[in-house]
């Protein structure tokens, strides 16, 4: 069985609450979400790399004027989270007051599951 994962599998796993990245079998580069080729060595030799899902906010933006179709959801925040494993991932902030957000705040991966899609989200690190 091919151990590499596609973007589809990435979101299926995310929906189940598991954050999975991929590690390049050529150079060891860790990537998330999955890419076609390794950005570091241009090989396509990915192996599955389960991630803990814990990290800290590296930067964030509060969205006050949402994209079309999401008018009822603003304001909300999206953050670039630097995971414990060293890679960064963009996700929606959930269950954290906007005024509590700061760079360096510990957060934990939490999928945002709706009827037709799964989004990457990050909530409080303490599990509450
Ligand atoms: Zn590589």
Question: What contacts 24+ positions apart, CB below 8 Å, involve 76-84?
Answer: 77/101, 79/107, 79/122, 81/55, 81/56, 81/57, 81/107, 81/122, 82/55, 82/56, 82/57, 82/58, 83/19, 83/32, 83/51, 83/52, 83/53, 83/54, 83/55, 84/51, 84/52, 84/54, 84/55
Higher per-residue pLDDT: 128 or 13: 13
Predicted local confidence at residue 1, as pLDDT? 40
Distance 14 CA to ligand 1 centre (A): 23
Q: In the prediction, which pLDDT does 128 show?
A: 47
Distance CA 93, CA 77 (A): 5
CA of 23 to the centre of ligand 1 (A): 8
- State the distance from the centre of ligand 1 to the C-alpha of 43, rounded, in angstroms: 6
CA 49 to centroid of ligand 1, rounded, Å: 14
Q: What is the pLDDT of residues 3-58, one digit of tens each?
A: 556 788 889 999 999 999 989 999 999 988 878 889 899 998 888 899 999 999 99
Interval 66-79: pLDDT, tens:
778 777 888 999 99
């Amino acid at each position: 069985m091919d151990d590499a994962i596609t973007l589809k599998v990435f979101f299926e796993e995310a929906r189940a609450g598991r954050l999975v990245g991929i590690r390049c079998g050529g150079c060891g580069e860790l990537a998330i979400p999955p890419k076609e080729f390794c950005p570091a060595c241009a090989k396509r030799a990915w192996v599955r790399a389960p991630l803990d899902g814990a990290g800290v906010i590296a930067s964030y933006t509060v969205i006050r004027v949402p994209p079309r179709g999401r008018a009822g959801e603003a304001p909300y925040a999206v953050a670039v989270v630097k995971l414990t494993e060293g890679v960064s991932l963009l996700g929606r902030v959930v269950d954290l007051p906007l005024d509590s957000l700061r760079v360096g705040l510990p957060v934990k991966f939490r999928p945002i599951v709706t009827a037709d899609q799964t989004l990457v989200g990050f909530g409080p690190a303490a599990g509450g």
